[in-house]
């Protein structure tokens, strides 16, 4: 039986916000066009935050309007507060994600709020949604759910406490984010199983970073625990500008490859992702892009989980290795 997995591409938000430079709006549109053409059907296209803090995201309303023209595309945005939510609902985004750090230290550093503040914000955002944008879904994305650069270890109980609080406030789903690359597969399996057991259909997806090379192992652990929605970014864009090599999100290209080889249907075409990667590379000259599949190519005889075959193309003339 084929498992269907939803990949939510977060590069245009999580990737671009991590950079100092701003991608011009026309190039963002072209990139999103290419992402959509590859078969991606959920894209986090930007965030509604202060343009003073993140000028890279100042054109998010324009980008949402463009993305909304694509059939069957879920257009998602990040929203850190009520003001952002008002703008998001006005833009017509289909989904908003509110970043809710499990530790107050990270919440304060990230969006300058206490837990009491964010709880009040979420309450107001849910009420506003119910009144003015009932078709828009709300996700609470639990940042540093597996550990925190500032506070260190985070217990499962701490993360579950915030998860319940958010569910009780009426958000539609609660996702778990390994914001700074602290998660390990045992912890991932344990916490997602608990999330699904306690929150039922409000349990959301997994947002993993590949900071310490553990991203794909964490995906496997989450998948085995029953998770079917994963965030990823093309080229692994994102991450921490102060730790070179400490890459951002799991790489969409490699993730789709991994899932398809395991018989999980993503509906995404890897050649299409490689084409989108070229659009991205042209738009951000000199930026480091990660991932292995773009260099290595697909293996001989590769078939997608739904039976599609990739376009024939030159394979690498790789000399066999000893052992």
User: Nearer to a copy of itself by C-beta: 5 or 221?
Assistant: 221
CA 56 to CA 12: how far, in whole Å?
A: 10
Q: If 0-12 CB within 10 Å is exposed, 13-18 middle and 19+ buried, where does residue 2 land?
A: exposed
User: Nearer to a copy of itself by C-beta: 30 or 274?
Assistant: 274
User: Quick one: which segment of 32-40, 95-103, 194-202, 271-279 binds a copy of itself (CB under 8 A)?
Assistant: 95-103
The answer to whether the Cα torsion of 97, 185, 5, 3 is positive or negative is negative
* Number of residues in contact with a copy of itself under rule CB under 8 A: 79
Q: Answer for the pair 55, 20: CB distance below 8 angstroms, yes or no.
A: no
Report 273-312 residues binding a copy of itself (CB under 8 A).
291-297, 299-301
Answer for which of 20, 242, 286, 312 binds a copy of itself (CB under 8 A) is 242
Within its chain, how far is the Cα of 227 from the centroid? Answer: 14
User: Nearer to a copy of itself by C-beta: 30 or 121?
Assistant: 121
User: Quick one: which segment of 119-127, 147-155, 166-174, 275-283 binds a copy of itself (CB under 8 A)?
Assistant: 147-155
For 293-298, the CB contacts below 8 A with 24+ separation are 293/251, 293/253, 293/254, 293/257, 294/253, 298/257, 298/270
* 246 binds a copy of itself per the rule CB under 8 A: yes
User: Nearer to a copy of itself by C-beta: 159 or 180?
Assistant: 180
How many C-alpha atoms does 289 have within 13 Å on its Cβ side? 24
* 245 binds a copy of itself per the rule CB under 8 A: yes
Q: 229 pairs with which residues across the strands? A: 6
x-or-dash string of contact with a copy of itself, 26-65, rule CB under 8 A: ---------------------x-x----------------
Tokens, residue 300: 């001989």
Q: Residue 148 catalytic?
A: no
CB of 71 to a copy of itself, least distance (A): 27
User: Quick one: which segment of 26-34, 58-66, 236-244, 275-283 binds a copy of itself (CB under 8 A)?
Assistant: 236-244
* 204 binds a copy of itself per the rule CB under 8 A: no
User: Quick one: which segment of 122-130, 146-154, 159-167, 272-280 binds a copy of itself (CB under 8 A)?
Assistant: 146-154
Torsional class of 299: left (φ above 0), alpha (ψ -120 to 50), beta (otherwise): beta
CA 90 to CA 129: how far, in whole Å?
A: 11
Q: Which residues are catalytic?
A: 240
């Amino acid at each position: 039986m084929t498992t269907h997995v939803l990949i939510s591409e977060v590069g245009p938000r999580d990737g671009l916000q991590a950079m100092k430079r701003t991608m011009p709006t026309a190039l963002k549109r072209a990139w999103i066009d290419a992402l959509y053409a590859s078969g991606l059907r959920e894209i986090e296209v930007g965030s509604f935050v202060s343009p003073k803090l993140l000028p890279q995201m100042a054109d998010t309303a324009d980008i949402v309007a463009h993305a909304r023209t694509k059939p069957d595309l879920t257009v998602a945005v990040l929203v850190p507060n009520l003001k952002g939510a008002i703008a998001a609902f006005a833009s017509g985004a289909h989904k908003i994600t509110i970043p809710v750090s499990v530790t107050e230290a990270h919440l304060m550093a990230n969006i300058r709020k206490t837990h009491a503040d964010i709880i009040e914000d979420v309450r107001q955002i849910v009420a506003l949604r119910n009144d003015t944008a009932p078709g828009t879904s709300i996700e609470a994305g639990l940042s540093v759910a597996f550990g925190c650069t500032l506070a260190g270890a985070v217990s499962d109980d701490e993360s579950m406490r915030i998860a319940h609080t958010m569910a009780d406030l009426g958000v539609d789903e609660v996702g778990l984010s390994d914001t700074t690359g602290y998660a390990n597969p045992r912890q991932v399996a344990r916490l997602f199983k608990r999330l699904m057991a306690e929150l039922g259909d409000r349990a959301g997806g997994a947002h993993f970073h590949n900071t310490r090379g553990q991203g794909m192992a964490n995906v496997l652990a989450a998948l085995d625990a029953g998770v079917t929605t994963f965030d990823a970014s093309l080229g692994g864009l994102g991450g921490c500008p102060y730790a070179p090599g400490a890459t951002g999100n799991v790489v969409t290209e490699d993730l789709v490859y991994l899932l398809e080889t395991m018989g999980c249907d993503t509906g995404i075409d890897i050649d299409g992702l490689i084409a989108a990667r070229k659009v991205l590379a042209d738009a951000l000259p000199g930026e480091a892009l990660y991932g292995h599949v773009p260099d290595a190519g697909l293996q001989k005889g590769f078939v997608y989980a739904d039976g599609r075959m990739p376009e024939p193309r030159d394979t690498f003339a790789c000399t066999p290795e000893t052992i």
